[in-house]
Amino acid sequence: MKKGIKILLSLLIVLNYGCSNSDSGKNKTEEANRTEETKGGINIKGSDTVLPLSQKEAEVFGKANADSRITVTGGGSGIGFTALIDDNTDIAMASRKIKVDERLKLEQAGKAFKEVIIAHDALAVIVNPANKVSQLTREQLEGIFTGKIVNWKEVGGDDLKIVVYSRETSSGTYEFFKEHVMNKKNYASNVLSLPATGAIVESVSQTKGAIGYVGLAYLEKNIKPLKVSFDAGKNFTAPSMEAAKDHSYPIARPLYYYYLDTKETTIKPFVDFILSTEGQKIVAEVGYVPVN
């Protein structure tokens, strides 16, 4: 009887082992399939300014290329570069050029990279539609964002406190505005930093005394773009695609993609699509300035 029990237990162990191996094999197969599914996908991360354009380009590209899997997330140009350095993204979107320290980190890691200009953008200074101020000089903008000008009456507006909104420090737009509009001076300590461009649009639309800056593609009816002058008030120009194209609008900039050379085979078809006639047509439709 005991011998029969031992044989039965042995059979049960063998059966369990076989099932365990079967399950393990099944799990490995499923894991391999998941790996195969993610192979060839493209992750894009970075600039909120470039975000709407990348999303639209990925959507149209995906319809024509059923096997493509493109994921796009924002967060700021600095976030994109950090992700590129850490191998957490395939493409870094940027509204500024790569910084020296970011370049050095990539070079020290032996990571050669490509820089591609995919579009141009005009950076619009925006206020609440109830604000009667319609134009400002570069010097006045510098004064507002550095905290020297604190009331709208100082620039021809109502007796109303100026509420200043800006992107956070990881944003390429933050860097660009500081360098090209504020003459590299520091933002005032009371400037309210927001994590996304959409948040600036919403905040300015709801605050009568507010001012901020956004990319051309983010302009909506519930905010008012200002004319600006970079020649001490002699000429004022409103932000528009036409003014950015003919360089009459002074706050304009290129928009970039950065990616590693090792990823070029996977990424190049999508980048080539953006730079194609069809892709650049989408650039204009979304509200940016084509490179050609």
Please write the tens of the pLDDT for every residue from 274-286. 999 999 999 999 9
pLDDT digits (tens, 9 = 90+) for 45-76: 999 999 999 999 999 999 999 888 999 999 99
Architecture of domain 42-120+254-286: 3-Layer(aba) Sandwich (3.40)
Whether the model clears a pTM of 0.85, i.e. scores above it, the answer is no
**Residue the block writes with tokens 């079967």:** 22
At the fourth CATH level, the homologous superfamily of domain 121-245 is Periplasmic binding protein-like II (3.40.190.10)
Residue 122 and residue 251 in contact, taking contact as beta carbons nearer than 8 Å: yes
The reply to whether 42-120+254-286 and 121-245 are identical in fold is yes
Domain ranges in the chain are 42-120+254-286, 121-245
**pLDDT: which is higher, 203 or 36:** 203
Alpha helices in the chain (DSSP H): 2-38, 51-64, 77-85, 100-108, 138-146, 172-180, 197-206, 241-245, 264-275, 277-286
| Pairwise CA distance, residues 223 & 126, whole Å | 6
Bridge partners (DSSP) listed for residue 45: 73, 92
* pLDDT, position 165: 98
Distance CA 220, CA 95 (A): 20
